[in-house]
Amino acid sequence: MATAAASPRTGTEPVLSVRNLAIDYQTRKGDIPAVRDVTFDLRRGETLAIVGESGCGKSTVAFALIGFLGKNGRISGGSVEFLGQDLTGLDEEQLRRIRGNNISMVYQDPTSALNPSLRVGVQLAEILTEHNEECGEKEAYEQCVAMLEHVHMPDSKKMMERYPHQLSGGQRQRVIIAGGLLNHPALLIMDEPTTALDVTIEATVLDLVQEIKEKFNTAVLFITHDLGVVARVADRVAVMYAGEVVEEAPIKELFANPLHPYTRGLLACIPRAGAFKRDTVLQSIVGVVPPPNALPSGCAFEPRCPYGEERSRDEHPEFRPLNGNHSVRCHFAEEIAAGTKSLDERKVHIPAAAVAEPGETILEATDLKTYYAQKGRGLFGLGEKSVVKACDDVDFSLRAGQTLGLVGESGSGKSTVAKTILGLEPVTGGQIEFMGLDLKGTVDDRASKTLKLLQMVFQSPDATLNPTMKVGSAIARTVAKLTDTPHKSVRGRVIELLDSVKLGERYYDRLPRQLSGGEKQRVAIARALAGNPNLIVADEPTSALDVSVQAAVLNLLLEIQSENNTAFILITHDLNVVLYLADWIAVMYLGHIVDYGPREAFLKPPHHPYTEALLSAIPLPDPSVEPKKVRLEGTIPSAIDPPKGCVFNTRCPRYIGDICHTDPKIHHLENGQMIACHHDIEYLAAVDPVIDFDEVQEPTLLVP
């Protein structure tokens, strides 16, 4: 949700003025320019978001502002003026006085930012007493409690006495934000503060960032890679590529009218809210981000730019303002704005629209239960055992050629469902029927005939390949184990698979550490395809990847689906991606499926209250759409002791009363939707829709 571009209390003097900032890292092989030319201004009460993919230098800029560049980093050019003072010339002691006092920083991982051996109150009070000599203990305590109230921490007095490990991730991040605000800094830098948090908690933290900006009139520098988060939180956006700012504009202007080809590419490859694979495609840009020690002379984006020309290779474009508040670093910005610049279509990857006809039902899960028994607390592990009900009474079915999206936050049990179907975890109760076979037992009991039909693509590209095995050998081994391919033709088959994921023969002998994240994930997909599976389970396949790589991988999955009629189970927390890719969606909470149905059913009510909260929490990459605000209190309860009855009753915004402590009614609608809730369907159908999908802007595609 975006606020007006200028808050009424915005001052005229910029708090932070960065001009042509350049930062180098000194390595054994010479200086690497991590940041080459960054220029921006930041005023009080304003949020500037710096957006870019990995390696563009955005975090480096943040570290440079507070002098945390490390031994081998140094500011090699430009100036940083903070409240009139040049930060580049200051020594460590002077910087130390500014840090935590006038400039505060909030990092990505809230767990490692707090000292686990000190109470929260002690850590917060320390921030005050360190910087203000007159501030006594009692006064510091009171100010901390007041600040915790400002960040909506429930029961702030008790929180002061707790240790960090007793807090949840969202609460820890709030503590850190509170700590950052204690000295009323002029500038608050936030480096990906919500990446490690669940979607619903992220939404509450982003609301908080909006609020504090207004309450305390702080300037906020928000660094992220997520364009949805940017749309919700920022007033202005600066897009960085290869160490330079390539475009800067107010938020609505940037999304409505992106001028730099890179920004246009980024916006074209994220699925807009409500987009569906049958209607639109994700257009991605070809090529790779150049490494900082091998930057092209001239325009850094030229090798990948569909508008590039001779001129872009020779001349390095200047960062110049276009219409008032919109600045671009591109030779052809005016022509692109007018729509008169011609496009080289070879530099845009336009996938064919995915059309896969649904076939017969290949997977059916009935009353699936997966419980993990914990060791009892007595001696030798005897004594009463507690049970983690990771997955409880799950029902769904899947047809060939279709995609089932399993959505849920951490602790919802979606990964457990995947592992159980694949056989990595044993089934505790219920039944899974796959291609007519009853899947019991674990992977070790299954024949290779069954194994090859059911494969998985894992979440983390770094852990998905054995670092000591060559890419070709890994795939070859899979081919050899799962199929009857004769020994001589294995290599040929591996190369076929590498081609199908657009990698090619020269990747055969590479080791995983020579590949990028996207390449590793594609190798993993090639490996999963080795036996021509009927069902591929993809567990968050793209959450660790950059936005444009994500688009390429998703396109690849769609292509595989339409060519081989493979069924997919896509597990993710990103509702945006699910609404784009999935034919059927199941929403999971604490091991139960609470909402299940065809994709269209999720575009309008009736929804399960949890689905409503999820829809409201997705950061939509569209600042003009404002979803209805539905926020959840608290955190997901423990799976060892789940709430009785409807498991959502501790956080449900539509909580009725005692009836919620009994098992919920299951509603079956005609379109196939299933909702587990005590409310009547008429009530749920009558609520306002969370997102008006008709309001969503059409994306500016690269190739219309």
Partner 1 sequence: MDPLRLEMAPEQPPRKPPVETAVPPVPGAPAVALPTGVAPAASLQLPWYKRLWEGTIPLRTSRVGMVGFAIVAFWALVAILGPVLARYDPGDQVVAPIPKGATLLDLPGGAFPSTKPYREDNPDTPEDETVLGYVLTNSGPSSSAWLGTDDRGRDVYSRLVIGARQVMVIAPLSILIGAVVGILLGLAAGYYGGWIDEILMRILDAIIAFPIIVVLLLIVSSIGASRFTVIAAIAVASIPGVARLARSLTLDLRTRDYVSAARLRGENAMYIMVREIFPNASGPIIIDLTLRVGYAVFAIATLGFLGLGLPPPTPDWGSMVAEGRNFVTTNAWAALFPATAIATLVVGLNLMADGIRQESARYR
Please identify, using beta-carbon distances, which residue of 60 and 572 lies nearer to partner 1: 60
What residues contact residue 254 under an 8 Å CB cut-off, 6+ apart?
237, 239, 247, 263, 326
Please identify, using beta-carbon distances, which residue of 515 and 569 lies nearer to partner 1: 515
Please identify, using beta-carbon distances, which residue of 142 and 499 lies nearer to partner 1: 499
Please identify, using beta-carbon distances, which residue of 39 and 59 lies nearer to partner 1: 59
Q: Please name which of 161, 166, 155, 113 lies closest in space to residue 141, comparing C-alpha atoms.
A: 161
> Closest approach of Cβ 186 to partner 1, in Å?
23
Q: Strand 567-572 to strand 535-539: parallel, antiparallel, or no bridges (unpaired)?
A: parallel
Residue with tokens 């291609």: 435
What residues contact residue 420 under an 8 Å CB cut-off, 6+ apart?
368, 370, 391, 426, 427, 432
As a dihedral over the C-alpha atoms of residue 342, residue 345, residue 348, residue 352, rounded to 10 degrees, the angle is 130
Please identify, using beta-carbon distances, which residue of 432 and 660 lies nearer to partner 1: 432
> Closest approach of Cβ 522 to partner 1, in Å?
9
Please identify, using beta-carbon distances, which residue of 64 and 160 lies nearer to partner 1: 64
Q: What is the token pair recorded at 656?
A: 């009725």
> Closest approach of Cβ 125 to partner 1, in Å?
25
d(CA 439, CA 396): 15
> Closest approach of Cβ 454 to partner 1, in Å?
8
> Closest approach of Cβ 448 to partner 1, in Å?
5
Please identify, using beta-carbon distances, which residue of 186 and 494 lies nearer to partner 1: 494
> Closest approach of Cβ 194 to partner 1, in Å?
18
> Closest approach of Cβ 530 to partner 1, in Å?
8
Q: In terms of C-beta distances under 8 Å and separation of at least 24 residues, what long-range contacts does 700-703 make, across chains too? A: 700/257, 700/258, 700/264, 700/267, 700/268, 701/268, 701/283, 702/264, 702/265, 702/268, 702/283, 702/285, 702/306, 702/343, 702/348, 703/283, 703/343, 703/345, 703/348, 703/350
Please identify, using beta-carbon distances, which residue of 435 and 469 lies nearer to partner 1: 469
> Closest approach of Cβ 424 to partner 1, in Å?
6
Please identify, using beta-carbon distances, which residue of 104 and 455 lies nearer to partner 1: 455
d(CA 337, CA 334): 5
504 close to 448: Cβ distance less than 8 angstroms: no
In degrees and rounded to multiples of 5, residue 326 shows phi and psi of -110, 115
d(CA 124, CA 114): 10
Q: At what angle do helices 137-150 and 120-131 cross, to 10 degrees?
A: 120
The residue type at 360 = E
Please identify, using beta-carbon distances, which residue of 236 and 522 lies nearer to partner 1: 522
> Closest approach of Cβ 411 to partner 1, in Å?
18
> Closest approach of Cβ 419 to partner 1, in Å?
8
Please identify, using beta-carbon distances, which residue of 525 and 594 lies nearer to partner 1: 525
Residue with tokens 């994240």: 517
> Closest approach of Cβ 73 to partner 1, in Å?
7
Please identify, using beta-carbon distances, which residue of 479 and 677 lies nearer to partner 1: 479
The gap from C-alpha 221 to its chain's centroid, in whole angstroms, comes to 19
Query: Which ranges in 529-608 belong to alpha helices (H)?
Result: 547-564, 575-581
Give 181-234 as a DSSP string.
Answer: HTT--SEEEEESTTTTS-HHHHHHHHHHHHHHHHHH--EEEEEES-HHHHHHH-
Please identify, using beta-carbon distances, which residue of 12 and 468 lies nearer to partner 1: 468
> Closest approach of Cβ 648 to partner 1, in Å?
30
What residues contact residue 638 under an 8 Å CB cut-off, 6+ apart?
none
DSSP tag of 617: H
Please identify, using beta-carbon distances, which residue of 71 and 138 lies nearer to partner 1: 71
> Closest approach of Cβ 381 to partner 1, in Å?
9
Please identify, using beta-carbon distances, which residue of 68 and 683 lies nearer to partner 1: 68
- Report in angstroms the alpha-carbon separations of 146 from 39, 100, 102, 140, 149: 36, 18, 19, 10, 5
Give 496-539 as a DSSP string.
Answer: HHHHHTT--GGGTT--GGGS-HHHHHHHHHHHHGGG--SEEEEE
Q: How big is the CA angle at 70 (ends 188 and 202), to the nearest 5 degrees?
A: 35
> Closest approach of Cβ 662 to partner 1, in Å?
38
Please identify, using beta-carbon distances, which residue of 277 and 679 lies nearer to partner 1: 277
d(CA 465, CA 471): 8
> Closest approach of Cβ 632 to partner 1, in Å?
30
In sequence order, the β-bridge partners of residue 348 are 285
> Closest approach of Cβ 312 to partner 1, in Å?
15
d(CA 591, CA 642): 9
In degrees and rounded to multiples of 5, residue 438 shows phi and psi of -90, 115
In degrees and rounded to multiples of 5, residue 189 shows phi and psi of -100, 130
DSSP tag of 99: B
